[in-house]
Amino acid sequence: MVLMAQKFSYRYPLIDGQGNWGSIDDPKAFAAMRYTESRLMPYAELLLSELGQGTVDWTLNFDGTLEEPTVLPARLPNVLLNGTTGIAVGMATDVPPHNISEVGAACICLLDKPRSTVDDLCEYIKGPDFPGGSEIITPPSEIREIYRSGNGSVKLRARWIKEDGNIVVFALPYQGSSSKILEQIAGQMSDKKLPMLEDLRDESDHENPVRLILVPRSNRVDCDALMNHLFAKTDLEKNYRVNLNVIGLNGLPAVKNLKSLLVEWIQFRTTTVTQRLNYRLKKVLSRLHILDGYLIAFLNIDEVIRIIRNEDYPKNVLMKTFSLSEIQANAILDLRLRFIARLEEHKIIDEQKQLDEERKSLEKLLSSKARLKTLIKREIQEDVKVHGDERGLPIG
């Protein structure tokens, strides 16, 4: 839960935490849960909003007291957006985080042009987008090869500027620690390997989570050469493994390239949306069935009242007299007196018209692959518009 609240750990945090939830320098220095509060971030809606709409299967939890979904009906491929790392018996996975706008554009490209290649998708997805704001110095050609094979590594480098003759490091590689880097630089200085550096200090604060000041000995010091030395000798430059080993729709783990991973997610999303539409259609048909029973009751209101008042088993008599189903008869018997007004008949007819239009729309969507694809594409565009942002990591 702490990880899901840390902006420097998750590209798109799921939890909005109040209190001490750790820092870049020490991610594990978070307060005990009795001192903190939390709520879901708007992004979490992408994973949870369709849970109650018949989209996924449910199963018993670990002790059989509750039910939980087997998977979450993600509206966007969260496995790519936030990435994941893990290790199991004989296998591991390292999926880096990506940018919502880029991944959404790639999904739409695949929906429009299913024969698109990995190179085509890389026109949209430029590379991983780690939190922290450092930069990727891996050449684009190598990044494309990683996406083709599903394996490789990307190199992240800290970003810096010159300010009043000093070097100011303002962004560290993903999961880089300010204190550890300062310790590494100090070690280089004590070993007499950095004669061009006079002093270093940490000016990081709440407004500037990363602000490391390196003071050169004079204005003649080549700052680029100094930083290149530090990139080689400290964690100001780090490699991150990429291994797109994930469990597919068939339930088996496999290393997938970018296209196969997105194609499987689109298949999953298509199934999810189809189940959601079928669930809604079933609700609409059920309501229309009850409304048909209500109309019969209102058209024969005097006879219905007589049956309810005088018969010992009014449900059976209603079913036999007006050819009603058991569901319709129960609904009529559950009606309150205030609904037996002339005005309610018009409301029922209006509701019937609205639901009938919705029924026709749902049936059209479910009977046409093209319409279903258009709906999925529109929903992706809407979600990207709400949650999308600019790329955080430039690619050098």
Query: Burial of 258 by CB count in 10 Å (0-12 exposed, 13-18 middle, 19+ buried)?
Result: buried
What span, in angstroms and rounded, lies between the C-alpha atoms of 33 and 229? 42
Helix axis angle, 314-322 relative to 326-333, nearest 10°?
120
The encoded tokens of residue 129 equal: 């987008």
H-state helical runs in 60-99: 78-81
Q: Which amino acid is at 348?
A: I
Quick one: which of 135, 360, 366, 118 has its CA closest to 256?
Answer: 118
Is residue 170 within 8 Å of residue 161, measured between CB atoms? yes
Alpha carbons within 13 A on the beta-carbon side of 348: 20
294 is catalytic: no
Work out the number of other CB atoms within 10 angstroms of the CB of residue 364: 11
Report the C-alpha gap between 392 and 11 in whole angstroms. Answer: 9
Give the sheet arrangement for strand 237-243, strand by strand. Answer: 84-88, 91-95, 237-243, 151-157, 135-136
| SS3 state at 70 | coil
What pairs with residue 62 in β-bridges? none
| Contact predicate 208/190, CB 8 Å | no
Taking a C-beta distance cutoff of 8 angstroms, is the pair 75, 354 a contact? no
Distance CA 294, CA 48 (A): 35
The residue behind tokens 């000016």 is: 203
Q: How far apart are CA 360 and CA 201, in angstroms?
A: 68
Q: Which among 263, 193, 246, 239 has a CA at the least distance from the CA of 85?
A: 246
Q: Which of 10, 12, 35, 240 is catalytic?
A: 35
235 φ/ψ angles, rounded to the nearest 5 degrees: -80, 15
Question: What amino acid positions are annotated as catalytic residues?
Answer: 35
